[in-house]
Copies of this chain bind each other. A is one copy, B any other.
Amino acid sequence: MSDLVARLRRHQWRMTPQRRVIAEMLDGAHVHYTADEILERACEHMPEISRATVYNTLNEMVALGEVAELNFDGRSKRYDPNVDHDHHHLICDGCGTTRDVHTTADPLDGLPGDERHGFTVTEASITFRGRCPDCVDAG
């Protein structure tokens, strides 16, 4: 039983085979998939699962606060189950692969009071960009 499935049960969420496949795929992943990648992999276990169910399920997980929705490039959203671990993201400009990374410093400490323009600042997230090993090799 995956940790994410357990957390979702606690929300009195009706468990179905489709939801279980999606939750088990997300659980523990430090690479964040798009909805279509999740659909493609889910189809290997459950060929008749629909695109609508994948989107419905992901949106419900986000609404329950158990999964975070990421969007860096204006293309596909990616889904991140690691909501309880404070971290940032490293993205490949070639293929869009998105990984969790951990930094030594809190970026909020680098924003002086006179740069806050009167805002109440609650969150800071860093997006690192570059080329993954595969995309560097491919030129």
Contact = CB atoms under 8 A, between A and B. Distances in A.
Interface of A: 69, 71-74, 76-77, 90, 92, 99, 101-105, 107-112, 115-133, 136
21 contacts: A71-B71, A71-B72, A74-B74, A90-B116, A99-B117, A101-B111, A101-B115, A101-B117, A103-B110, A103-B111, A104-B110, A104-B112, A111-B128, A116-B130, A117-B132, A119-B136, A120-B136, A121-B130, A122-B129, A122-B130, A124-B128
Report which residue of A73, A76, A103 has the largest number of chain B beta carbons within 10 angstroms of its beta carbon.
A103
Copies in the complex: 2
Interface of A is mostly: mixed
B69 A90 contact: no
A3 B58 CA distance: 45
A1 to B, nearest CB: 29
Nearest to A132: B119
Contacts of A72: 71
B107 A126 contact: yes
A120 to B, nearest CB: 5
